C-alpha cells in the first residue's frame, strides 16, 4: 500500500504531445526547487493551471517487515515548466523555487522528456545517472522500449540504455539486451 497516493506528474496530461495548444507565448523553463519541495510545487502549479512535468518513479521500501511504496522525483530538485511570463512569475510566488533555468533548445528538451516518460512508462527498474560520459548512440529496435534513443553504458558487466536530459546533464538507465539495439552513429 502506498504511503501517499500517486499524484499527477504532468499537467495537462497531453503536455509532452502538444507543444502549445492554447497559442500562448509559452516556453520551457527548468525550476530548481528548495530542498524536497518538488511535489509540493507540482501541486501548487496544478492548482494554478500552469503546465509542468515532474518525472516520478515508484520506489519500494521494506521497513519492519512491511513493504511501502512511494513515488519519488527522478531528478531531485527539478521541475520542468512550460509557461508564459505571467505563469512563470506566478510559480515564483509559491516560495518553493530556488532558481529558474532558461532552456535554449526547447525542441531537444521536449524530445528528451518524451523519451524519459516512455522509459518511466515501461515500468523497468531505473538507475539515475549523472554527469554523463559519451558513448555509442543507439535506438531500441524491438520490445517494450521500441524507438527509444540513447547511449550504451556498461555497469557491473550489464548493458544499459541511458536516456538523458542533456540540459541537466542527468538521465536514467535501464538494463537492456544488446541485441535489441541498433547503432545510430
Domain boundaries, the chain: 1-103, 122-185
pLDDT, position 139: 93
pLDDT, position 154: 86
Structurally, what CATH architecture does the domain formed by 122-185 represent? Roll (2.30)
pLDDT, position 19: 60
Of 17, 74, 22, nearest in space to 49 by CA: 22
pLDDT, position 69: 87
Does the pLDDT at position 4 exceed 80? no
Q: Are 116 and 78 in contact (CB under 8 A)?
A: no
Give the whole-angstrom CA distance, residue 151 versus residue 48: 37
pLDDT by residue (tens digit) across 26-52?
Answer: 999 999 999 999 999 999 999 999 999
Give the whole-angstrom CA distance, residue 46 versus residue 161: 32
Of 46, 57, 67, 64, nearest in space to 3 by CA: 67
Written as nine digits, the cell of 178 is 544488446
pLDDT, position 1: 46
Class of domain 1-103: alpha beta
Does the pLDDT at position 92 exceed 90? yes
Q: What does R_g of the chain's alpha carbons equal in angstroms?
A: 17
pLDDT by residue (tens digit) across 140-174?
Answer: 998 899 999 999 998 888 889 999 999 999 999 99
The overall average pLDDT reported for the chain is 90
The pTM for the full model equals 0.87
DSSP assignment, residue 142? S
Does the pLDDT at position 94 exceed 50? yes
Amino acid at each position: 500500500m502506498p504511503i501517499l497516493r500517486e499524484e499527477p506528474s504532468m499537467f495537462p496530461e497531453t503536455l509532452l504531445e502538444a507543444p502549445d495548444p492554447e497559442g500562448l507565448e509559452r516556453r520551457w523553463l527548468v525550476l530548481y526547487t528548495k530542498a524536497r519541495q518538488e511535489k509540493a510545487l507540482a501541486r501548487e502549479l496544478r492548482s494554478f493551471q500552469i503546465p509542468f512535468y515532474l518525472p516520478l518513479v515508484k520506489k519500494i521500501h521494506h521497513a519492519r517487515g512491511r513493504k511501502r511504496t512511494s513515488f519519488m522525483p527522478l531528478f531531485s530538485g527539478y521541475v520542468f515548466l512550460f509557461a508564459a511570463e505571467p505563469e512563470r512569475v506566478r510559480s515564483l510566488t509559491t516560495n518553493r523555487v530556488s532558481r529558474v533555468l532558461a532552456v535554449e533548445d526547447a525542441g531537444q528538451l521536449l524530445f528528451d522528456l518524451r523519451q524519459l516518460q516512455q522509459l518511466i512508462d515501461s515500468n523497468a527498474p531505473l538507475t539515475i545517472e549523472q554527469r554523463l560520459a559519451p558513448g555509442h548512440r543507439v535506438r531500441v529496435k524491438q520490445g517494450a522500449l521500441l524507438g527509444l534513443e540513447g547511449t550504451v553504458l556498461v555497469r557491473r558487466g550489464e548493458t544499459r540504455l541511458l536516456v538523458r536530459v542533456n540540459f541537466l546533464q542527468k538521465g536514467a538507465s535501464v538494463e537492456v539486451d544488446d541485441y535489441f539495439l541498433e547503432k545510430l552513429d
